[in-house]
Amino acid sequence: MATKQIKVTLKKSGIGSNERQKKTLLGLGLRKVNRPKVLVDSPATRGMITKVSHLVTVEDLK
């Protein structure tokens, strides 16, 4: 069975965000605006995305 993947793209800069949100973006591997990152869809990843949902967009990959 293949693992489900999602594409996460940073749409707004983390500048001005609190330190916890900046560390969450780094944990997701998002460093530059408009650069997507393909990640495994897991509860931990989804939780991190929820914390910075106002800065990122998420797409499901098939």
CATH for 31? 3.30.1390.20
Domain of residue 9 covers: 5-61
**CA 33 to centroid of chain Cα atoms:** 11
Predicted local confidence at residue 1, as pLDDT:
55
Predicted local confidence at residue 48, as pLDDT:
97
Name the domain count of the chain: 1
User: What CA dihedral angle connects 46, 48, 53 and 55, to 10 degrees?
Assistant: -130
Q: What is the mean pLDDT of the chain?
A: 95
pLDDT tens digits along 18-42: 999 999 999 999 999 999 999 999 9
DSSP of 1-38? -PPPEEEEEE-S--TTS-HHHHHHHHHHT--STT-EEE
**Rounded CA separation 18/34 (Å):** 20
Task: Give me the residue label for tokens 């967009």.
Answer: 57
